[in-house]
Amino acid sequence: MSIMETPSACVHHLTHASTCGDQPWSPQRRERDPLSFATDDFTCLDEVDLFADLSPAEMEGLEQMVPERRFGPGELVFSQSEPVSALFVLKSGRVRVFRVAEDGKTLTLAILEPGAVFGEMLLVGQRMYENYAEAIEDSVICQLTVEDVERHLIADPRIALRIAKLLGDQVARLEERLTDLALRPLAARAAKTLLTLAESAPTTALSARLGHGGTIRITHEQLAGLLGATREGTSKVLSEFAAQGYIRQARGRITVKDSQGLRSTARTTS
């Protein structure tokens, strides 16, 4: 099933976007392969610390009515034509949350790993008009409807506190990124971002065995989206990092070799 057959994935509000499948900001659309999905590692709501305070019985109750959807690479999880009406939990795969300018350029707000929650703004009455989310790999996503949320979560003080913490972290991260973007050169931002990614996408058992500790799965273009820079500029600084021995590069993969070197680069101001 091609995503082209999913009309709701189209975005009709973009000024310069004429036809579906021709989105300048989503070049890597592919056919979907239903066989390659990961098996269910955990039920939707386990392992998500938003719900950590719930009793097993309560979890049970919630889980019953949580539908689960699958998305192929490039497929939109939500957009303006399909506005957020639910809280999403990423079960497997990876999702990119981003914004689009009128001229088609994008900024990536976050690249989410399994276990992440998104669409949280809905919980506090925000609308998220402007945000898009797309799968960048085959992904399985649970979604709680607004009603689920309102009835079971908002009312619960334990959950409300968790939500506040979640949002607090996010505020801190955003403030950091904002000041970095304003005050630091590209190289510094790139170094910092690599360090962050390297520790947030932690070493799996497999990658550790292969000596790939600190390996990030990301393309230059995706990284550029996070940095608020062009692909070319990003490639440039990455080459320099590689030349310095700070990192090693492969296609769609970057391995941090000298985090200390990156750290000092991250501190430069101009």
User: Residue from 61, 67, 168, 245 that binds a copy of itself (CB under 8 A)?
Assistant: 168
For residue 140, the cross-strand partners are 70, 92
Report, in Å, the least distance between residue 153 CB and a copy of itself: 10
Q: Are 88 and 117 in contact (CB under 8 A)?
A: yes
Report, in Å, the least distance between residue 123 CB and a copy of itself: 7
Strand order in the sheet with 68-71: 68-71, 139-145, 86-92, 117-118
201 binds DNA per the rule CB under 7 A: no
Candidates 26-34, 76-84, 177-185, 197-205: pick the segment binding a copy of itself (CB under 8 A).
177-185
User: Residue from 231, 248, 258, 259 that binds DNA (CB under 7 A)?
Assistant: 231
123 binds a copy of itself per the rule CB under 8 A: yes
53 binds a copy of itself per the rule CB under 8 A: no
13 binds DNA per the rule CB under 7 A: no
Residues forming the site for a copy of itself (CB under 8 A): 99, 101-103, 105-107, 109, 120-121, 123-126, 128, 130-131, 154, 156-157, 160-161, 163-165, 167-172, 174-179, 181-184, 228, 267, 269-270
Provide the binding-site residues for DNA, judged by CB under 7 A. Answer: 27-31, 33, 105, 185-187, 219-221, 228-233, 235-236, 238-239, 242, 249-253, 270
